[in-house]
Amino acid sequence: MQSALEARATLEADLRLALTLQQFVLYYQIQVDANKRAIGAEALVRWNHPQRGLVSPALFIPLAEETGLIQPLGQWVLETACAQLKAWEANAITRDLVLAVNVSARQFGAEGFVNQVESLLISSGITPARLKLEITESMLLGNVENVISSMRQLKALGVSFSMDDFGTGYSSLQYLKRLPLDQIKIDQSFVRDISVDSSDQVIVRTIIAMAQSMNLSIIAEGVETEQQQQMLANSDCANYQGYLFGRPVPIEAFEALLSA
């Protein structure tokens, strides 16, 4: 039986090989408005291992972060997302969709990241506003000024930003008001029990009121029931993502969902 250290080393070796052999795929989870019309999707990376099958991101993303492999993996995700956005331009159903891509702290803070994104925008020929980068509050720890500077440069190119998992990190409101954000994403931990937990209801209403005062759009993730969606709607949340509307699926299934 492998020790934990040996198992980690094996997984790391497999991960490096996976990058070389391009074993990764993007899954897409639909995002909808108050009328349940598609407004976009979140692109989620999956590892399609030939023996293991689909490997959970919970297993390989932390390892990719630790080893630095998150940078080439993140670059692949961005390239694939931009290529998909370009392909969507040919279809009236998909040409206006916005695609959200998660960016890790290590990837975002890497030297040359802004230039990489700019080069991708030029080479792919997409409309920059249709690419939304999702960042987390933890990204602000220790390098706030650098993050703000990079965000402003990318905003100048036309890229939009969403603050993912809002309310679970450690950001100060004095920093938050300086970030050139377009959207705040309510974390699913506040959505899960919103129909029965008065504290979650208050937190969600507070987040929405704050976002509105800062002219930011709001989207709630992890919406699984009609009751959750209605509670959110009653609090003026107009955009949603979650199993109620669709699970993360391969591109063919996603596009079929849009056409249904």
- pLDDT, one tens digit per residue, over 14-34 is 999 999 999 999 999 999 999
Tokens of 96: 């206006």
* Confidence category of residue 1, pLDDT binned at 50, 70, 90: low
Beta pairing class for 38-49 and 53-55:
antiparallel
DSSP states along 92-149: TTTTT-EEEEE--HHHHTSTTHHHHHHHHHHHH---GGGEEEEEEGGGGTT-HHHHHH
CA dist 26 and 77 (Å) reads 7
Check residue 34 and give left, alpha or beta (phi > 0: left; psi -120 to 50: alpha). alpha
The whole-number pLDDT of residue 70 equals 94
pLDDT tens string 133-176: 999 887 877 778 888 999 999 999 999 999 987 876 655 676 77
User: Has residue 2 got a pLDDT over 70?
Assistant: no
Residue 55's Cβ-side half-sphere holds a number of Cα atoms within 13 Å equal to 19
- Cα dihedral: 98, 101, 107, 113 (round 10): -20
What's the pLDDT at 140?
Answer: 76
Superfamily per CATH, domain 16-259: EAL domain (3.20.20.450)
**HSE toward the beta carbon, residue 35, CA cutoff 13 A:** 2
217 vs 252: CA distance, rounded Å: 29
Beta pairing, strands 38-49 & 98-102 = parallel
Number of Cβ within 10 Å of residue 55's Cβ equals 19
**Could you give the angle at which helices 4-21 and 57-67 cross, rounded to 10 degrees?**
90
Specify the DSSP element, H or E, that contains 54.
strand 53-55
Amino acid of residue 204: V
What is the token pair recorded at 239? 């955009």
Task: Report the pLDDT value the prediction gives residue 5, as an integer from 0 to 100.
Answer: 85
The average pLDDT across 192-198 equals: 93
Residue, of 51 and 219, whose pLDDT is higher? 219
Average pLDDT for the chain: 92
Structural domain spans, the chain: 16-259
Query: Residue 196 gets which letter from DSSP?
Result: T
Where does the pLDDT of residue 203 fall: very low under 50, low under 70, confident under 90, or very high at 90 and above? very high
pLDDT of residue 170: 58
Per-residue pLDDT at 219 exceeds 80: yes
